[in-house]
């Protein structure tokens, strides 16, 4: 039985992916595969056989097949051409077909021409790894309408010839942002009723990066525009993919606030968790830990959890580390590390005011991930899991001490007169032990419910601090 928590997922590009399903399955806590049919032209209907094959491959590997990323939106739909109705009907049919196979969420985007844009895929970072980067001065050197050189910026659709690319960019430059909004609304009004009928959550991905490039209109970029998007068709099946990297590459976006807001509304259906270092001239993708970039990944995950998000999450765009080669941003090693941080609480920057390493040391395990893993908790219960594991171990010790001290007290009282400083000291230690023992029973009970039933008790951190002080006092006296 699957627990009602965020469901950890991993993107897989099919049989041509160097990262195999067998490798993905070995990542602790991995629940689902995020994939798509990649051999059908954009706008065409996916065959049921292709969908069924993906489902079987995924489930044979012991993983769930519930998220599609993505069913691409044909450019004629975005441009509002007369041919859009044909492509929208095909899109609706694809929603129906993936729903038949058990898909619960479809990620898609409405970005004109360029799905995502970077200026380099293998930029060396100070630690020796390589990552995807975006530097504005390099983008400014390329003009799709005027350049006579090959257009080679990463992320550009290789299916377009040079002349075709120039033509479609020119068409978009005649389109205003309001025109793109109108075309998006037309699209949503057609597909969301189908998605609702099939109980499939549609999750639009923010523009990447979240600003206009080459004068093309981009509209899924900020909180104000996400509010407008959700109001176009006010249906719970019309939601978003919260991509921390796409939104977080602009310092104007408060990703923590947006995570809390849209999770509370129940409109986040999918989350891409990626850290970036924001620069004056762009951004660099970094490791998933908060300390490695500009984003507070702990606060983002906590905001999702605290506001009831139980949807799908995946580690987005990893660095290339340890000599790995392959699809840029989608290697195995760094995304697996990111998955572990997300799943088991290593993104939790502090636990009751102490560092991650110190928290791990308190309970004698290698890291906080091990603590959470030992008690079966994932991100929502990671902090409480540490509290539960730590307090359970000290509770066991105090259980022994609590029942040992009365015998010590009686034994010493036979030899030494009552209420001497010696016996009084033991009596006081006995009282401290008793109080700590009773408080730890209380703490373990509530920490258990917090870690295993997805609830939060605000007093637990304070109580833990008190117990730490009591324990320090007690054992120093001994």
Residue 256: which region, alpha, beta or left (left: phi > 0; alpha: psi -120 to 50)? alpha
d(CA 12, CA 389): 35
Say which of 17, 317, 333, 334 is annotated catalytic. Answer: 317
Say which of 316, 334, 344, 378 is annotated catalytic. Answer: 316
Note if 60 is an active site residue.
no
Would you say 471 and 436 are in contact if contact means Cβ atoms under 8 Å apart? yes
Count of alpha carbons within 13 Å of 249, Cβ hemisphere only? 27
> Tokens standing for 146?
């005027």
What's the length of the chain?
A: 478
> Tokens standing for 263?
């999770």
Note if 198 is an active site residue.
no
Note if 205 is an active site residue.
yes
Say which of 92, 198, 243, 249 is annotated catalytic. Answer: 243
- From the list 207, 266, 262, the residue with the least C-alpha distance to 237 is 266
CB neighbourhood size of 412 (10 A): 16
Q: How far is CA 67 from CA 12, 117, 389, in A?
A: 11, 24, 33
Q: What is the CA radius of gyration of the chain?
A: 27
Compute φ and ψ for 244, nearest 5 degrees: -65, -35
3-state secondary structure of 439: helix
CA-based torsion, 361, 366, 371, 374: positive or negative: negative
d(CA 96, CA 93): 5
Q: How would you label 324-337 residue by residue, b for 16+ Cβ within 10 Å and e otherwise?
A: beeebbbbbbbbbb
Angle separating helix axes 421-452 and 382-415, nearest 10 degrees: 160
Looking at residue 320, what DSSP letter applies? B
Peptide bond before residue 384 is cis, with ω within 30 degrees of 0: no
- From the list 340, 425, 304, 436, the residue with the least C-alpha distance to 6 is 304
Say which of 74, 205, 237, 269 is annotated catalytic. Answer: 205
Note if 38 is an active site residue.
no
3-state secondary structure of 338: helix
Note if 237 is an active site residue.
no
Note if 330 is an active site residue.
yes
- From the list 105, 84, 99, the residue with the least C-alpha distance to 42 is 84
**Residues with catalytic annotation?**
205, 243, 272, 316-317, 330
């Amino acid at each position: 039985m699957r627990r009602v928590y965020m469901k950890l997922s991993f993107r897989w590009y099919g049989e041509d992916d160097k990262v195999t399903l067998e490798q993905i399955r070995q990542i602790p806590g991995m629940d689902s595969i995020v994939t798509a049919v990649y051999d059908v032209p954009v706008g065409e209907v996916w065959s049921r056989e292709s969908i069924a094959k993906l489902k079987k491959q995924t489930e044979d590997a012991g993983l769930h097949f519930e998220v599609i990323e993505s069913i691409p939106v044909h450019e004629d739909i975005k441009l509002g051409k007369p041919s859009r109705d044909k492509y929208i009907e095909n899109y609706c049919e694809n929603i129906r077909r993936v729903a038949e196979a058990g898909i619960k969420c479809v990620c898609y985007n409405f970005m004109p021409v360029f799905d995502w844009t970077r200026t380099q895929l293998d930029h060396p970072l100070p630690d020796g790894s390589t990552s995807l980067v975006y530097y504005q001065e390099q983008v400014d050197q390329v003009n799709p309408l005027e350049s006579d050189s090959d257009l080679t910026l990463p992320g550009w659709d290789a299916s377009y010839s040079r002349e075709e690319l120039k033509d479609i960019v020119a068409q978009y430059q005649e389109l205003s942002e309001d025109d793109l909004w109108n075309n998006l609304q037309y699209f949503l009004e057609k597909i969301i009723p189908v998605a609702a009928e099939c109980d499939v959550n549609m999750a639009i991905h923010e523009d990447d990066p979240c600003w206009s490039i080459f004068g093309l209109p981009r509209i899924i970029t900020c909180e104000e525009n996400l509010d407008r998007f959700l109001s176009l068709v006010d249906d719970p099946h019309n939601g978003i993919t919260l991509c921390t990297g796409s939104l977080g590459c602009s310092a104007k976006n408060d990703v923590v606030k947006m995570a809390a807001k849209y999770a509370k509304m129940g409109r986040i259906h999918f989350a891409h968790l990626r850290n970036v270092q924001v620069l004056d001239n762009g951004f660099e993708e970094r490791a998933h830990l908060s300390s490695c970039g500009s984003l507070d990944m702990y606060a983002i995950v906590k905001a999702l959890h605290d506001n009831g998000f139980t949807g799908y999450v995946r580690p987005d765009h990893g660095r290339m580390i340890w000599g790995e080669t392959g699809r840029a941003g989608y290697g195995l090693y760094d995304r697996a590390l990111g998955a572990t941080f997300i799943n088991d609480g290593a993104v939790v920057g502090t636990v009751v005011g102490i560092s991650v390493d110190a928290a791990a040391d308190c309970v004698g395990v290698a890291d906080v991930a091990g603590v959470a893993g030992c008690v079966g908790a994932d991100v929502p219960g990671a902090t409480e899991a540490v509290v539960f594991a730590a307090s359970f171990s000290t509770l066991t010790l105090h259980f022994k001490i609590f029942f040992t001290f009365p015998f010590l007290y009686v034994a010493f009282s036979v030899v030494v007169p009552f209420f001497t400083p010696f016996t009084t000291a033991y009596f006081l230690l006995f009282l401290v032990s008793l109080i700590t023992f009773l408080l730890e029973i209380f703490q373990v009970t509530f920490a258990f419910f917090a870690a295993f039933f997805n609830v939060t008790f605000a007093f637990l951190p304070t109580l833990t601090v008190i117990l730490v002080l009591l324990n320090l006092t007690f054992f120093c006296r001994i």
